[in-house]
């Protein structure tokens, strides 16, 4: 099973970012064709971002679909002050948080189990389990710490880029990452 992992903010040529913003502004103005193009172009980014936060393909698909539905209304709030990718990150993260709250109420004690393929070598199995344990621990962090860690380490963003997405100062992201490391040392 292949999972799209290239959800970092794309390093598009300047004209591509401008074209994306122009498409978003046309969609905001009610252009249905522009909206359809925008959703089609951004679905992979939305899904990959949701997958990193959710940890399961099914949850990421549900969240991505929810984001696409919400975009019809949310696009009206895009004003171009931040890049479209930064704005879309925020919309996606908010949808992930909403989905997680809903699931937490419905299934309080459900835990994802790491898949270990029977044919793998023991060292590979241990690495798979250790990595799954690490990401499970990251997902159990307080929301702001979890978001900072996932943006910086899973998405590969700088602290400055993560700060723009989380709408806080860069030093705040650094502090959340520092606190998360301390918490994870205790959990692992």
Taking only the tens of pLDDT, the chain with its 188 residues reads: 333 444 444 444 556 677 787 888 888 888 889 999 999 999 999 999 999 888 889 889 999 999 998 888 888 888 878 888 888 999 999 998 888 777 665 544 333 333 434 444 555 666 666 777 787 888 888 889 888 988 888 888 899 988 998 889 999 999 998 898 888 887 76
pLDDT score, position 106: 52
**CATH class entry, domain 119-188:** mainly alpha
d(CA 181, CA 150) in angstroms, rounded, equals 12
Q: What is the pTM of this model?
A: 0.56
DSSP 79-119: -SSS-HHHHHHHHHHHHHHHHHHHHHHH-TT--PPPP--TT
d(CA 140, CA 91) in angstroms, rounded, equals 21
Q: Is the dihedral of CA 150, 154, 155, 158 positive or negative?
A: positive
Using alpha carbons only, how large is the chain's radius of gyration in Å? 18
CATH number of 8-111: 1.10.1740.10
CATH 1.10.10.10 residue ranges of the chain are 119-188
CATH 1.10.1740.10 residue ranges of the chain are 8-111
Q: Which two tokens stand for residue 79?
A: 């004003």
CA-nearest of 2, 19, 1, 147 to 10 is 19
């Amino acid at each position: 099973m292949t999972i799209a992992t290239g959800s970092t903010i794309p390093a598009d040529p300047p004209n591509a970012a401008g074209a994306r913003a122009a498409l978003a502004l046309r969609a905001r103005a009610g252009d249905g064709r522009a909206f359809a193009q925008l959703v089609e172009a951004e679905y992979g980014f939305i899904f990959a971002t949701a997958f990193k936060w959710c940890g399961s393909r099914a949850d990421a698909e549900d969240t991505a679909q929810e984001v696409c539905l919400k975009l019809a209304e949310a696009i009206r709030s895009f004003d171009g002050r931040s890049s479209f990718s930064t704005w879309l990150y925020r919309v996606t993260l908010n949808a992930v948080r909403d989905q997680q709250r809903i699931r937490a109420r419905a299934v309080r004690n459900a835990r994802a189990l790491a898949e270990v393929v029977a044919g793998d070598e023991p060292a590979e199995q241990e690495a798979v389990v250790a990595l799954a344990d690490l990401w499970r621990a990251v997902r159990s962090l307080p929301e702001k710490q979890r978001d900072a860690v996932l943006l910086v380490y899973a998405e590969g963003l700088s602290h400055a880029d993560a700060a723009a997405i989380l709408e806080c100062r860069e030093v705040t992201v650094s502090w959340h990452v520092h606190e998360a490391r301390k918490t994870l040392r205790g959990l692992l």
